Homo-oligomer: A and B are copies of this chain.
Amino acid sequence: MASRNRSVPAADRVAKPQARTAAKRVKILEAAMTVFGTRGYNNAALAEIAEQAGMTHAGVLHHFGSKEGLLVAVLKYRDGEAMAGVAGREQVEGPAFLPHLTDTVRDNIKRPGVVQTYAVLSAESVTDGHPAQEYFRGRMAGLRIKLQRVIGMTTGREVEDDDVRDAASALIAVMDGLQVQWLLDPQAVDMPRTLALVLDELIERLATNEPAPPVSARVDGVLSVGAAQDEPQAS
């Protein structure tokens, strides 16, 4: 299925970009983000992206070489934008990163398009041979490591501790999972509040190092107030 290796036309070797070109490219990227978000990568048509950017699909290809190239550019663009982001918020490094998560989620409510793009693409990326797969694998790994470090710092735990690792995965999972629920029904979930609940509780637990009893015990009535256990667990 893979055609022969031909040289990519004019992907990135920009010798002399003209004055208004940069702005035009941003406009294409912005349009692409919207369309990839509303339709998914596979179902998105270059023609629609081009139209929103005020040109033909061939014009888009002139700048980004291929649809896949455009996607990669969108992903990179989003990263850069998220840093120099919405409220002049720069790269937060220390334990302040944790409340920053909740802030970001709060801001995201005002940018459903961005949320949708991220949610759709990240899940779509697990499909066979998806062009964004490597990107999201790396992104997840990076986020996990960063969170592990920050959680370690904040709670005085080892960075390599299993609980710290799990907490990092869990926080990312909560944010991503909430987005899908929220996109399907914005009334149904309160993203920042829910994230804060998990975040506060997880950090408290790691800081005090007092694991909660497993729910299985609770269900068996071992800890419950009225200690009437009704049914034995099959396990």
Contacts and interface: CB of A to CB of B under 8 A. Distances in A.
A30 interface: no
A120 B200 CA distance: 30
Contacts of A128: 38-39
A115 to B, nearest CB: 9
Give how many copies assemble into the complex: 2
A197 B123 contact: no
A188 B124 contact: no
Interface stretch (A52-60, A74-82, A210-218): A210-218
Contacts of A140: 180-181, 184-185, 188
Nearest to A122: B180
A155 B98 CA distance: 28
Nearest to A231: B96
Interface string A162-196: 11011101101111111011011100111001111
Contacts of A185: 137, 140-141
Contacts of A196: 214-215
A133 B204 contact: no
A213 B200 contact: yes
Contacts of A230: 94, 96
Interface string A143-170: 0100000000010100000110111011
B215 A144 contact: no
28 contacts: A38-B128, A40-B127, A99-B214, A99-B216, A116-B126, A116-B127, A120-B124, A123-B180, A133-B184, A140-B188, A156-B225, A166-B193, A169-B181, A169-B190, A172-B181, A173-B176, A174-B174, A174-B198, A175-B177, A176-B176, A176-B180, A198-B198, A199-B215, A200-B214, A201-B205, A201-B212, A203-B218, A204-B213
Closest 6 CB pairs of A and B: A173-B177, A123-B123, A204-B212, A177-B177, A176-B177, A42-B43
